[in-house]
Amino acid sequence: MAFIVVEEGESIESALRRFKRKVQQQAIIKEIKKHSVYYKPGEKRRMKDALARKRMRRRMKRDKELEY
């Protein structure tokens, strides 16, 4: 669980910014979204394979651009 200590004289906006940054660093939102929906094992596998293909295409495109 992410928490921050609000310093004396610190504005609410800056404290909120620090809290949001801490939550993002700990990947809490990503984890909540991941567990909010149930995916069948086959569906998880297909999504994982699709992400791997997407990463590979991106990597190939980047490598191809660097060749020129």
Clarify whether residues 26 and 15 are in a common domain. Answer: yes
Structure confidence at residue 68 (pLDDT):
65
Q: How far is CA 34 from CA 28, 29, 30, 44, in A?
A: 10, 9, 6, 11
Whole-model pTM over 0.85: no
Q: How far is CA 32 from CA 21, 25, 35, 40, 54, in A?
A: 16, 14, 5, 17, 23
Clarify whether residues 26 and 42 are in a common domain. Answer: no
Q: Which domain holds residue 67?
A: 38-68
Clarify whether residues 44 and 32 are in a common domain. Answer: no
pLDDT digits (tens, 9 = 90+) for 1-57: 788 999 999 999 999 999 999 988 888 888 888 889 999 999 999 999 999 999 999
Please give the tally of structural domains in the chain.
2
The answer, yes or no, to whether residue 64 has pLDDT greater than 70, is yes
